[in-house]
Amino acid sequence: MTQLDYNRQILLRARPDGLAGPEHFEEFLTPVRPPGAGEALVESMYLSIDPAMRTWIAEKPGYVPAVSIGSVMRAGGVARVLQSKISGLEPGDLVQGRLGWQTLPTLPAIALQKLDLSLGTAEDWIGPLGTSALTAYFGMKSVGELQPGSTVLVSGAAGAVGQIASQIAKIMHCRVIGIAGGAAKCAFLRERIGLDHTIDYKASKDLISSIANVAKMGVDIYFDNVGGPTLEAALENMNHAGRVVLCGRISQTGSAAPYGIKNLGIAIGKRIKLQGFIVSDFHDQYPHARAWLAGEIKAGRLQQRLHLLDGLEKAPEGLRMLFTGDNFGKLAVKVSH
Ligand code: NAP
């Protein structure tokens, strides 16, 4: 059997209680299936690793059905077409889609979308043109109603969504404060991403004061990727009519003891809008957002640090890394070149 005869898959074996990791998954080999009508056989190049995956493998995942035990782990990614019975897709074309954690899937047309390589490279499509970048774009511009000159606070700022959200606010001439874990991530955000201030939440003894010390005029927009005590500290520093973009709550995802926010009353008195969203709410506007992001990449104003793990077998460990803060940038697995 050669490597092109079989499809390596990673299946969900058990639902985690706390952190997810390799012990909850199992590798499986299955023969490659030639495509039928309306299908293509693709070779996975990059598979995205996302915090939402932890919720997809929970018993009650929320806004999407749970991945069932024994199924291939759900994942988005970028792939190369090997054989195609889909009109408009030729061998050699690059696509993005719902690939799952597998090397050589055969997928229907609805799961695949041909990449426009005039916008960026395959790596750009997993990074600054990918779903986390779209999340940052719509979260900042549509939900946060970003205005030039605002003071913007971003948590999880060194991560996939946070890096892009922070840079969009800088491009829009805002004062941007990033919250991240550790001196190296904070230095990167100031020196490479150009943030005005950073806060290392792991070193801060009092996050409310740490924010107040650098946001002396208060915070107009808080882009929340982490929830919990960070959201509470941000609320204490919000300005009248400020916006809180509820993008994610990684500090609470899979947590056995959810943190209760105690100071929501501030939002009433200060007329603060707190709004959650899911990036797919804006699906019909993706082409417009990607054109904007591609323009900013080409102009040298937008970049994304990627954190690539080598080999499909690293995917489960990657999922754990998101929750321990061991990723530094947009995390993905490089499956083939
Ligand atoms: P990421 O930020 O690249 O990686 C996760 C980061 O979260 C880690 O590197 C770590 O950074 C931080 N973290 C982990 N545990 C934490 C804790 N207890 N307290 C504070 N920070 C913690 O991940 P991402 O893909 O960009 O996702 C960021 C957030 O956006 C997630 O909450 C995700 O669910 C959300 N999201 C939402 C949508 C949507 O449609 N609403 C779409 C995509 C993603 P530090 O080292 O700085 O701690």
pLDDT tens string 85-116:
999 999 999 999 999 999 999 999 999 999 99
Predicted pLDDT at 63: 81
Q: Do 22 and 304 contact (CB within 8 A), yes or no? A: no
Report DSSP state, residue 72: B
The residue contributing the CA closest to ligand 1 atom 36 is 248
Nearest CA to ligand 1 atom 42: 135
Regions in the chain scoring below 50 on pLDDT: none
Give pLDDT, residue 3.
64
Alpha carbon nearest to ligand 1 atom 48, residue: 181
Residue closest by Cα to atom 10 of ligand 1: 325
Q: What spacing in Å lies between the alpha carbon of 331 and ligand 1's midpoint?
A: 11
Instruction: Report d(CA 334, CA 78) in Å as an integer.
Output: 10
Q: From the alpha carbon of 281, which atom of ligand 1 is closest? A: 40
Residue 116 · residue 78 · CB < 8 Å = no
Backbone φ and ψ of 209, nearest 5°: -70, -35
The pLDDT assigned to 268 comes to 98
Probe residue for ligand 1, chosen from 132, 195, 225 as the CB with the greatest number of ligand atoms within 8 Å: 225
Ligand 1 closest atom vs CA 326: 9
pTM assigned to the model: 0.97
pLDDT (0 to 100) of residue 337: 74
Measured between its terminal Cα atoms, the distance across the chain in Å is 21
Q: Which atom of ligand 1 is nearest to the CA of 135?
A: 42
**Closest ligand 1 atom, CA of 331?**
3
Whether 335 contacts 76, CB under 8 Å: no
Residues with CB under 6 A from ligand 1: 50-52, 132, 135, 156, 158-162, 180-182, 185, 225-226, 247-251, 277-279, 322-323, 325, 327, 331
Query: CA-CA distance, 131 to 133, in Å (whole number)?
Result: 5
CB 39 within 8 A of CB 107: yes
Q: What atom in ligand 1 is closest to the CA of residue 280?
A: 40
